[in-house]
Amino acid sequence: MSAVKHDVFQAIADPTRREVLRLLSEKEMPISALTSHFPMSRTAIAKHLAILTEAELVSGEKVGREKIYRLQPEPLAELKDWLAYYEQFWSNKLTKLKYVLEENDED
């Protein structure tokens, strides 16, 4: 198995790639259908798809003359796990804010 050139974090860093993932979460589609959603060339979308494919977030299967792309959400679990660790800090801050606001209400 070859090394992945782009990891999940690099792949989702770009807003266009995040939108491609969102579109593919709704349905599988060929590059022509994806390109119609963006103000950029087919070549530019192909480059974004290549990065998403390298990160194993997207796969493409040749069907007739077209390649149909589909979302592979499993690698997003790595992102979910990473964010879950930091969620404790957000929850802690919200709890402190609630406490401060309740204290000020009593005054």
Annotate the chain with DSSP letters as a single string.
Answer: -PPPSS-HHHHHTSHHHHHHHHHHHH--EEHHHHHTTSSS-HHHHHHHHHHHHHTTSEEEEEETTEEEEEE--TTHHHHHHHHHHHHHHHHHHHHHHHHHHHHHHH-
Q: How confident is the model at residue 71 (pLDDT cuts 50, 70, 90)?
A: very high
- Write down the pLDDT at residue 75: 93
More confident position, 52 or 107: 52
pLDDT over 70 at 46, yes or no: yes
pLDDT at 107: 60
Q: Percentage of residues in the chain with pLDDT exceeding 90? A: 64
What's the pLDDT at 61? Answer: 97
pLDDT digits (tens, 9 = 90+) for 16-36: 999 999 999 999 999 999 999
Res 1 pLDDT > 80: no
